[in-house]
Amino acid sequence: MDNYEYTELLKHLNVKMNNITGVVEPKKLHMRLDAIEKLENEQDFWLDASNAAKIQKEKTQVQRKLDKYSLAKDALVDASELYDMAIEENDEESVQACYDDASGLEQLILNMEIEVLLSGESDSNNAIVSIHPGAGGTESQDWAAMLLRMYKMFASRRGFSIEVLDYQAGDEAGIKDVSFMVKGDNAYGYLKVETGIHRLVRISPFDSNAKRHTSFTSVVVSPEIDDDINIVIEDKDIRVDTYRASGAGGQHVNKTESAIRLTHIKTGVVVQCQNDRSQHKNKATAMKMLKSRLYELELEAQKVEQDGVAKSEIGWGHQIRSYVMQPYQQVKDTRSNEAFSNISGILDGDIDKLIEGVLISINKT
């Protein structure tokens, strides 16, 4: 990097930061924090525990956004001032330090840009993720297990936690079906772009002739909805099926039909849960999963009405991303049109750049 390149980078980052400032509106956030502080000092504020918890959650989110914004803005101002001083004093060592820190500064601004993009109504919520292998038996079920591992490692890298809600092991390898909750700040905001068909091309470890196979697996991501969002589901709207849990859990789980499957008759949405020994608790969790899916479908319908463009059908042949391991190594997302060669790292959970590229791409359209 030379002086011209660094100067152009600073100009580019300053433009981005100005755009971010216009969206974040830090003055309004500070005013909201002041208003919340006044509310907290009111005598009756803490008497309504539900409302107090909601306000406290908002306060945490506003403060976190302000902290991230200040960190990015201050870093950019400091870098610009240091560079100007170094050039003026002909301090080559400090100039080189600016060059060395350039990629970190660029990533910091990018992180704030992504933070701005994750400002949707449900983006800050936890995410409910379901993975369903397509046709292809063991090969597709193994691919589903690979995706589950990828998301678990991604969650771990970001400090998210995971709670498995339903797990059905494959007959020989992999999984037949899995649903899990990802808990953390903006979990849904990040993972929502993973909804769709994921395609894998590789030499199958289950083929004695070592032939190349193509497998498809569906991923569905829904936001965990807040209790104050009222979605009414009557008994006549759903079909309830019970079955024996197939996963770990002890003799009690396997001998009783504690697992629950709910089918929403009108939409055809199916959810299931077997993570608890209690059928009652599993049904409550499954109902929460169903409400989350229906809420997401309603948001999609509203977006279609607003944009006037129907969402593309999600089905085999409509993959959002391809993971090619043979004859070359590449992961390519059809929405951002970005391709990456570090497939092993991606399958180990390093999917941040993939997700960020899609978030930026879909917000430009």
pLDDT tens sequence across 187-215 = 999 999 999 999 999 988 877 677 888 89
Residue 38 and residue 15 share a domain: yes
Q: Is residue 230 part of a domain?
A: no
Tokens at 271, concatenated: 């959810």
Q: Coil, strand or helix: which one is 31?
A: helix
For 298-339, the DSSP string reads: HHHHHHHHHH--PPPP-STT-EEEEEE-SSS-EEEETTT--E
> 143 with 164, same domain?
yes
Residue 322 domain-assigned (yes or no): yes
What is the distance between the alpha carbons of residues 247 and 111, in angstroms, rounded to a whole number? Answer: 38
- The answer to whether residues 199 and 215 touch, using CB atoms and an 8 Å cutoff, is yes
Please write the tens of the pLDDT for every residue from 106-141: 999 988 988 888 877 788 889 999 999 987 788 899
Residue 10 has pLDDT above 90, yes or no: yes
The whole-number average pLDDT for the span 317-345 is: 91
Let me know the angle formed at the C-alpha of 344 by 360 and 204, rounded to the nearest 5 degrees. 115
Flag whether pLDDT at 142 surpasses 50. Answer: yes
Instruction: Please compute the mean of the pLDDT values over residues 355-364 and round it to a whole number.
Output: 85
Q: Model confidence at 38, in pLDDT bands (50, 70, 90)?
A: very high
**Are 189 and 223 a contacting pair, CB within 8 Å?**
no
Residues 220 and 319 in one domain: yes
**Of residues 245 and 333, which shows the higher confidence score?**
333
* Section 154-177 average pLDDT: 91
Task: Classify residue 229: in a domain, yes or no.
Answer: no
Tell the residue number behind the tokens 């500070």, with chain if given: 30
Q: How far apart are CA 113 and CA 79, in angstroms?
A: 18
Q: Can you give the CATH number for the domain in which 38 is found?
A: 1.20.58.410
* Residue predicted with more confidence, 355 or 207: 355
DSSP-assigned letter for residue 29: H
Confidence of residue 221 (pLDDT cuts 50, 70, 90): very high
| Residue 316 identity | W
99's CB contacts (< 8 A; 6+ apart) are 1, 6
pLDDT score at 256: 63
Q: Are 266 and 237 in contact (CB under 8 A)?
A: yes
Q: Specify the number of domains making up the chain.
A: 3
Task: Write out the residue range of the structural domain in which residue 89 sits.
Answer: 3-117
pLDDT of residue 315: 44
Task: Return mean pLDDT, the chain.
Answer: 87
**Higher-scoring residue by pLDDT: 227, 230:** 230
Q: How confident is the model at residue 246 (pLDDT cuts 50, 70, 90)?
A: low
pLDDT single digits (tens) 254-307? 456 788 899 999 988 898 888 788 888 888 888 888 988 888 888 777 766 655
The amino acid at 289:
M
- Is residue 271 one of the residues assigned to a domain? yes
CATH number of 355's domain: 3.30.70.1660
- Residue 86, domain member (yes or no): yes
Instruction: Please say if the pLDDT value at position 87 is more than 90.
Output: yes
pLDDT above 90 as % of the chain: 52
**pLDDT exceeds cutoff 60 at 248:** no
Is the model's pLDDT at 251 over the cut of 50? no
More confident residue, 245 or 40: 40
Residue 318 phi/psi, 5-degree rounding, is -115, 45
* C-beta neighbour count of 310 within 10 angstroms: 8
pLDDT for position 227: 64
Domain boundary among 86, 117, 148: 117
178 with 71, same domain: the answer is: no
| CATH number for the domain that contains residue 292 | 3.30.160.20
The residue among 67, 89, 117 that closes a domain is 117
pTM: 0.79
Residue 198 lies in a domain: yes
109 shares its domain with 25: yes
